[in-house]
Amino acid sequence: MSTTAGTPAARPGDASGHDTKLARVLGLPALIFFGLAYMVPLTVWTTYGIVTDQTSGHLPAAYVVTIVAMLLTAYSYSRMVQARPTSGSAYTYASAAFGRPVGFMVGWALLLDYLFLPMLNVLVIGLYMKDYFPDIPVEVWIVLFVVLVTGLNILGVKLVANVNMIFVVAQFVFIAVFVVLVVGKITGDVEVKSFTAPFVESGMDSSAIFAGAAVLALSFLGFDAVSTLAEETRDPRRLIPRAIMLCTVIGGGLYLLQSYAGHLVFPDYTTFESVDTAGTDVMKATGGDLLNSFFTAVYVASAFASAMASQASVSRILFAMGRDGSLPRPVFGRLSERFRTPVTANLIVGTIGLSALFLSLTTVASVVSFGALAAFSFVNLAVVKHYVIDNGRRSGRDIVLFGVIPFVGFLVTVWLWTQLTWPTFRIGLPWVAIGFVVLLIVTRGFQRKPPAMYTGDEGDELVDEPVERTAPAAG
């Protein structure tokens, strides 16, 4: 866009004249670090004790199941972002494939885990900081970090991305130190009875493995968050798919490595002092208090990075829904003239994050996977609908790429969703019901069509990728 001295060129806006165009400033490294910061390479320790106990010492096996499911879904995300390189993630893809009402409900389900994840992170930070500084109440830490995370997100996504790189590198350093110390222990004074037992052994409960895998889906919230930055990425059709797949592979590999190393160095999960803080037991057994202090410091920093990334994502989903009119446009569908970020949406998310003052860690963590798996399922189906049904991609190769692989991903994510515990559904299903009521209000009982969908094409020459149609087989 051309500009005159001191005056920005006209940018696309909504009906009221407000600018609704995000600035394209992100490249591949920033996207990968953003996704990994959201995923948190150390998040394996958030549910380490819970899932290890649930699977009777087979956490790595549960991670294998989850990684397979998430790779299938990451593939579907990469295909949809090539077709729809706009903000909004699964909300946008489901709207384009199945219509605005379905898209709204998918976006609403996504909001549940996106809203709870920043809350989960600030709560974890508060608990660990309270342990280091017992004289300062946990509530003080929660309020402080909610304000800090919200402020950084208002200043701009580029700043968030740069800060995230530092925290992700710190996690890489810790993981390297931890693995080296584990190798030293198992080749020294720790006897490993079986190197394969964490993955498979006689008598293991496969149903418990799959139930644990469903919980671990929350660990992978991050590869999908990359797609919410499509409108702030240079060449999004090329870079976003690469970032999505790389985040899934790198993150999944790091989770598997840490969980496996932890099981080798501390195999007796029945002796955890608490399943909520099992990571502390593993660290002390591996490197004593020094390693545990290093772990705690890096973990708190990584939780802060994840809080920043997750709030950036949910504020953009709210912005996308507000821009489309699914949520009140004057509140959600506007960007700051100065910072080019959705300030109002960020302030609302920050206010909701203060609910961590009243909720337990168990309650917050139990619902994060609910909306994610539901949204993942629809993204997998959206690939089939967009490419095979709508665009006629029906050659043998296309059926495999755009039909079989996404549909298998759909089946796996739905199945994992059904493995979640009943308390999760007691929170998730009422949330979905509230979303349906909101949809009824927006559409006046389906008497009028939902607002026209923003496609990201306005003034930016980003249209659907050219479709090389393959003639369908006879009959």
Digit-coded pLDDT (tens) for 360-377? 776 777 778 888 888 899
Residue 201's φ and ψ, nearest 5 degrees, are -160, 160
Number of Cβ atoms within 10 Å of the Cβ of 340: 18
Number of Cβ atoms within 10 Å of the Cβ of 221: 28
Residue among 13, 365, 352, 306 at smallest CA distance from 152: 306
pLDDT of residue 62: 96
171 within 8 A of 160, measured Cβ to Cβ: no
In whole angstroms, give the CA distance from residue 114 to residue 311.
Answer: 8
Structural domains in the chain, CATH included, are 28-193+217-443 (1.20.1740.10)
262-286 in b/e form (b: 16+ CB < 10 A) is bbbbbbebeebeebbebbbbbbbbb
In whole angstroms, give the CA distance from residue 428 to residue 113.
Answer: 10
pLDDT of residue 466: 39
**At a CB cut-off of 8 Å and minimum separation 6, what does 360 contact?**
none
pLDDT of residue 264: 95
All residue ranges of the chain with pLDDT < 70 are 1-23, 87-88, 131, 156-164, 362, 449-475
The CA–CA distances, whole Å, from 345 to 207, 334, 450 equal: 40, 9, 21
Whether the predicted model's global pTM rises above the 0.95 cut: no
Residue among 67, 419, 63, 55 at smallest CA distance from 204: 55
Residue among 26, 2, 287 at smallest CA distance from 159: 26
Q: For residue 158, what is the DSSP state? A: H
CB burial of residue 220 (10 Å; 0-12, 13-18, 19+): buried
pLDDT of residue 220: 87
303 within 8 A of 125, measured Cβ to Cβ: yes
Number of Cβ atoms within 10 Å of the Cβ of 217: 24
Residue 4's φ and ψ, nearest 5 degrees, are -100, 165
408-434 in b/e form (b: 16+ CB < 10 A) is ebbebbeebbebbeeebeeebeebbee
Instruction: Give the tokens for residue 466.
Output: 């050219």
Number of Cβ atoms within 10 Å of the Cβ of 461: 6
pLDDT of residue 456: 40
